[in-house]
Structure 1
Amino acid sequence: MTSYDYDLFVIGAGSGGVRAARVSAAHGAKVAIAEEHRVGGTCVIRGCVPKKLLVYGAHFAEDLRDAIRFGWKVPEHCQFDWQCLRDNVLGEVDRLNGAYQETLTNHGVEIIHERATIAGPNEVKLAGGKTVSAGKILIAVGATPHIPQFAGHELGITSNEVFHLDTLPRRILIAGGGYIANEFAGIFNEFGSQVTLINRTDVILRGYDHSVRDRLLQISTMKGIEFRFHAEFERIEKNDDGSLKVAMSEHEPIDVDCVLFATGRVPNTHSLSVENAGVELDEKGAVKVDEHSRSTCESIYAVGDVTNRVQLTPVAIREGQAFADSVFGDKPTTVDYACIPSAVFSHPPIASVGMTESEAKRKLGSVKIYTSDFRAMKNVLAQRNERALYKMVCDGETDKVVGLHMIGPDSPEILQAAAVAVKAGLTKADFDATVALHPSMAEELVLLK
């Protein structure tokens, strides 16, 4: 029997890799995990967590203005301290980084703070020059921001650097139409920056239902965010005063203080040397895997964003859990990718689960659509002319709810529970039979017409 240094060697200590390492060790495996940056990965260190904390901070801009209508004496001009919020957020990231390391150590996982690459089917080479062996190797290196290539692209930043800005930009241009672009557009707009969002097409949030994305575009424009569609970068140049001049197709040049690329994320397989083990990548650089997350090499697996299946943290965690249970827990498990809820933490936020209206019509033919278009009670008293929209998509033949799409305050918090009902295959009649919880925004889900 072949002897290895480790039963499992994980490359990448993000959400999927950490879960796989911890659970595999709990099943009795000897596990090591290599991480060249900080433990926690994209979500904890430079993604979901610090971004959501910025979203909370941005909400106070509207809450403070609204508070006046609710009887609170608030100064007319409230001052925002970017450095204070930034440092507090980074402090929380530090705490989480330590907590993740402690969790791994407590489960007996060896943490190696070095870059690791594939040296063979059962071998990993560390940046320091050492080569170690493992019965199984798990690639969990995640994805990295895509940076468009054109003259001056190096003058822009990505979501990796945005949390570390020295000062709040007075004018910021954000490139992209996805969730990262729209979330940061909302954040910086609430902080008082002049925000321009450019996109190569005229569609934002591709993949979300057209009704909610159109509503977000309408509200974002009303809030002062400028959208430039059918715009592609031509060049960025630095002005004498340190600002940036951005030239783009179909539109006039614009002077800004910061350019943020939010143009998608690509699997982080560059220079990972997967060819040394016969691991195949697809045309986007993602590791090809089967339903058990096994690559084209028998001993090497991959989970999370590096596989480009569904780039969401909870999905990576489930994939890591399924891998550990299958390989080391003697409990073969696969991940169900149907009906995965998702959210956009824009201002206001969007939440969605299941099929969009157009997708349902294409797949089912006969559909029934139920909607509620309303102003939240808080917005009414605050005299904020901002309407929420809830939309239910049902199979026209069976009455089964196949999609729920929402935009409005607290939509992600509301949808999480409702997603259970959609996943369970409940019908519109089941929603109708549930007594409304009044007064709440969530009650609209059982009152849809």
Structure 2
Amino acid sequence: MSFDLDLFVIGGGSGGVRAARIAAGEHGARVALAEESRMGGTCVIRGCVPKKLMVFASQAGLMADEMRGYGWCDAQAGRFDWTVFRQKLDAELTRLEMIYTANLEKAGVEIFHQRATIVDHHTVALADGTTRTAKHILIAVGGRPALPGIPGQELGLISDDLFLMESLPRRVLLVGGGFIACEFATILAGLGCETVQVYRGDAVLRGFDRQARDMATLQLSAIGVDLRLNVNPTGLERSGDRIGVTFNDDSRDDFDAVIWATGRDPHTGGLGLENTGVHLRPNGAIVVDEWSQTAVPSIFAVGDVTDRVNLTPVAIREGHAFADTMFGGRARSVTHHNIASAVYLRPHEVASVGLTEEQACARGDVDVYATVFRPMRSMFAGSDARMMMKLLVDPDTDLVLGCHIFGPDAGEMIQLAAIPITLGATKADFDATMAVHPTAAEELVTMRQPARRHRLAVSAQAATA
């Protein structure tokens, strides 16, 4: 059978763009890509990139406090101008979008700036009424913010909206306890908004190491976020020019804006998958195998739409591996463990790779090398902020099972720690590494005695069997 294309990619985010560019530019495949919004996807346009720039912007107040501690007596953050920042941010995102588009064009990818849906196992329909056939179809449409399903939820905003606000709200409610909610609470508080955050759990950042979670929870309150734990909104209603919110503890409060950060769902609705044999999970995620292949041999999926590990570098690696496997004659799959991640809070970030202490304990015996201390830079300035370094070690094999850092630039440090851990480094390898002094990171190679040892309890009967 003859096809118009070798590959049609639906979605111009990180995973889809990488797959299309490698398939066409390096392996000579005939490729087209459709994106209904802006090229670059969630990360570049409404996620990682603009959010990180906002984190940088929100640090001015803390930096001024620190500089006064170093003798710059008149150091002040001054007045933040959201309009000026927004103009620069929009220009930067446009620049990045143009680079993504130019790289695709340079690779020879045909681009359609419109919505695409699936007609059958080899056919894609475009919004302009035309169709294209392809030997392979790659779905890389990512995810979208989920709503909580309560009355009045339409009065709230989603995380995407934050980058488009004409002005910052005076008083804002963040709903959620994941990395998006915590980062935006950090940002808005740093930019001068009166920020309230509610979360249904007893500590933010579920899924991260519990000790790091507790430290992050305390830090949010320390930087001025009104953090209310074990609380959920039950309804929203218009209250003049504000939004009234009721909570499950029978309290009520008014805000200028409410932002939902209650998770993300795969964006598979209306994609035409009912026309295929592609299998979906209950949350809409596309089921794929280790090669990113669906139940239909010609249809593949990468990135957040598969709900494997929802991180931009993972989507990029999956897209690249798919292109190499299908068009480059190099079969490559992606290993979804020991993936480093970071949460960009202020002043200290949370970063992690490998097992958490809780996961390691459930797995078996583990030695915990951990230290909590005041870093030199902020301590000198008078800050009481603590940072934490932790290595989890298998006592039988000496393998490092996980690393967790709570501190300044933790994301930068965890990237480097992830390399030896991915290579299978032992605690002895860390011990043999010379420290760089004076740094906070030297703690990773100078911890000699476990702070605690966890051993799996066994019954007396089992022990004597």
Classify the TM-score, shorter chain: over 0.9
Counterpart CA distance in 1 for 2:77 and 2:59 is 16
Q: Does 1:60 align with 2:60?
A: yes
How big is each residue's C-alpha offset from its partner over 1:17-73, in whole Å with a ceiling of 9 and x where there is no partner? 000000000201110000000100000000000000001111122112211222335
Structure 1's 366 and 204: CA in aligned 2 closer, same or farther, altered over 3 A?
Answer: same
How many correspondences in the alignment? Answer: 446
Q: Does 1:31 align with 2:46?
A: no
Counterpart CA distance in 2 for 1:280 and 1:446 is 46
Q: Within 5 A, what are the aligned runs for 1:195-210?
A: 195-210=195-210
SS in 1 for 2:317: helix
Which residue of structure 2 aligns with residue 325 of structure 1?
A: 324
Counterpart CA distance in 2 for 1:421 and 1:141 is 33
Which residue of structure 1 aligns with residue 137 of structure 2?
A: 137
Which residue of structure 1 aligns with residue 255 of structure 2?
A: 256
Which residue of structure 2 aligns with residue 277 of structure 1?
A: 276
Q: Does 1:356 align with 2:356?
A: yes
Counterpart CA distance in 1 for 2:402 and 2:172 is 35
The answer to whether the 8 A contact 1:228-1:251 is kept is no
Letter in 2 for 1:415: I
Q: Which runs of 5+ in 2 are unaligned?
A: 450-465
Which residue of structure 2 aligns with residue 341 of structure 1?
A: 340
Q: Does 1:114 align with 2:114?
A: yes
Counterpart CA distance in 2 for 1:292 and 1:76 is 53
Which residue of structure 2 aligns with residue 14 of structure 1?
A: 13
Q: Quote how far apart the aligned CAs of 1:76 are.
A: 4.5
The answer to whether the 8 A contact 2:60-2:77 is kept is no
Q: Does 1:402 align with 2:398?
A: no
- Bigger drift between 400-409 and 251-260 goes to 251-260
The answer to whether the 8 A contact 2:242-2:254 is kept is yes
Structure 1's 132 and 397: CA in aligned 2 closer, same or farther, altered over 3 A?
Answer: same
The answer to whether the 8 A contact 1:326-1:332 is kept is yes
Q: Within 5 A, what are the aligned runs for 1:67-146?
A: 67-72=67-72, 74-76=74-76, 78-146=78-146
Letter in 1 for 2:38: R
- Bigger drift between 310-319 and 244-253 goes to 244-253
Counterpart CA distance in 2 for 1:219 and 1:11 is 40
Which residue of structure 1 aligns with residue 452 of structure 2?
A: none
Which residue of structure 1 aligns with residue 165 of structure 2?
A: 165
TM-score by length of 1: 0.97
Counterpart CA distance in 2 for 1:169 and 1:279 is 43
Percent identity over the alignment? 46
Counterpart CA distance in 2 for 1:239 and 1:283 is 36
How big is each residue's C-alpha offset from its partner over 1:339-397, in whole Å with a ceiling of 9 and x where there is no partner? 0000001122110000011101111x211001111111111121111010111111121
Counterpart CA distance in 1 for 2:405 and 2:438 is 18
The answer to whether the 8 A contact 1:372-1:390 is kept is yes
The answer to whether the 8 A contact 2:203-2:217 is kept is no
The answer to whether the 8 A contact 2:236-2:246 is kept is yes
The answer to whether the 8 A contact 1:289-1:295 is kept is yes
Which residue of structure 2 aligns with residue 299 of structure 1?
A: 298
Which residue of structure 2 aligns with residue 370 of structure 1?
A: 369
Q: Quote how far apart the aligned CAs of 1:203 are.
A: 3.4
Counterpart CA distance in 2 for 1:90 and 1:174 is 23
Which residue of structure 2 aligns with residue 5 of structure 1?
A: 4
Counterpart CA distance in 2 for 1:133 and 1:277 is 15
Which residue of structure 2 aligns with residue 287 of structure 1?
A: 286
- Bigger drift between 33-42 and 76-85 goes to 76-85
Counterpart CA distance in 2 for 1:167 and 1:189 is 14
Which residue of structure 1 aligns with residue 438 of structure 2?
A: 439
SS in 1 for 2:282: coil
Q: Quote how far apart the aligned CAs of 1:335 are.
A: 0.3
Q: Does 1:234 align with 2:223?
A: no
Which residue of structure 1 aligns with residue 244 of structure 2?
A: 245
How big is each residue's C-alpha offset from its partner over 1:106-137, in whole Å with a ceiling of 9 and x where there is no partner? 00001101100000000001111111111100
SS in 1 for 2:136: strand
The answer to whether the 8 A contact 2:65-2:75 is kept is no
Which residue of structure 1 aligns with residue 312 of structure 2?
A: 313
Counterpart CA distance in 2 for 1:366 and 1:151 is 47
Counterpart CA distance in 2 for 1:446 and 1:249 is 47
SS in 2 for 1:160: helix
Q: Quote how far apart the aligned CAs of 1:230 are.
A: 2.6
Counterpart CA distance in 2 for 1:318 and 1:76 is 43
Letter in 1 for 2:248: S
How big is each residue's C-alpha offset from its partner over 1:391-414, in whole Å with a ceiling of 9 and x where there is no partner? 111112122110100111011101
TM-score by length of 2: 0.94
Structure 1's 152 and 216: CA in aligned 2 closer, same or farther, altered over 3 A?
Answer: same
SS in 2 for 1:125: strand
How big is each residue's C-alpha offset from its partner over 1:242-264, in whole Å with a ceiling of 9 and x where there is no partner? 11111111151111111110000
The answer to whether the 8 A contact 2:145-2:264 is kept is yes
Letter in 1 for 2:52: K
SS in 2 for 1:161: helix
Which residue of structure 1 aligns with residue 219 of structure 2?
A: 219
How big is each residue's C-alpha offset from its partner over 1:265-288, in whole Å with a ceiling of 9 and x where there is no partner? 000000001111211111110111
Q: Quote how far apart the aligned CAs of 1:191 are.
A: 1.1
